[in-house]
A and B are shown apart, each in its own frame.
Chain A
Amino acid sequence: AQSVTQLGSHVSVSEGALVLLRCNYSSSVPPYLFWYVQYPNQGLQLLLKYTSAATLVKGINGFEAEFKKSETSFHLTKPSAHMSDAAEYFCASTHSGGYQKVTFGTGTKLQVIP
């Protein structure tokens, strides 16, 4: 069974500050991991994905995440927050076998303060 835990349902940062959103996974086999962003009343947009090729993954809009097996973590970072980054972010996982349904975390709402 797989699960994803996001620490902190709400995170506030100042514009220009570092963004750090935390995600830990629990899986009996190495997972594929994703970060999605959701704007109000919108669907989910993929920011980046980890598929075991490289542990540091770069995504869109300046976001990146590092897969750390020893810590079972996949934290999302961005060096400098923009107002447009205010949204809800979901960490998610799936596996290579089976039907590959995605398991999502509960989400973290990012507030960017001007």
Chain B
Amino acid sequence: KQEVTQIPAALSVPEGENLVLNCSFTDSAIYNLQWFRQDPGKGLTSLLLIQSSQREQTSGRLNASLDKSSGRSTLYIAASQPGDSATYLCAVRPGRGSTLGRLYFGRGTQLTVWP
């Protein structure tokens, strides 16, 4: 069974810092990996989706990388801002042969960016 771990569980940084959030998964046979952010009391917002054949995806100040063979993904946030404060969730989708719709979530990294 796929297990997803996110480190650190919480992170508090001053505005302007570049950040790296880590995600690891136990079964490297994934179809793709999706990063989300969750604001308090709100739903999940999809940030980036990386297919298993890709090494990285970029959106604005966000860059997500994927090393499938080692079971790792990182989310890089450049020039962090207070508005980036949220919980960041990593989720993996099992590879073909399994039910593709099933997402396995990590427990998230709670990020606080202070001015």
A, B assembled together = no
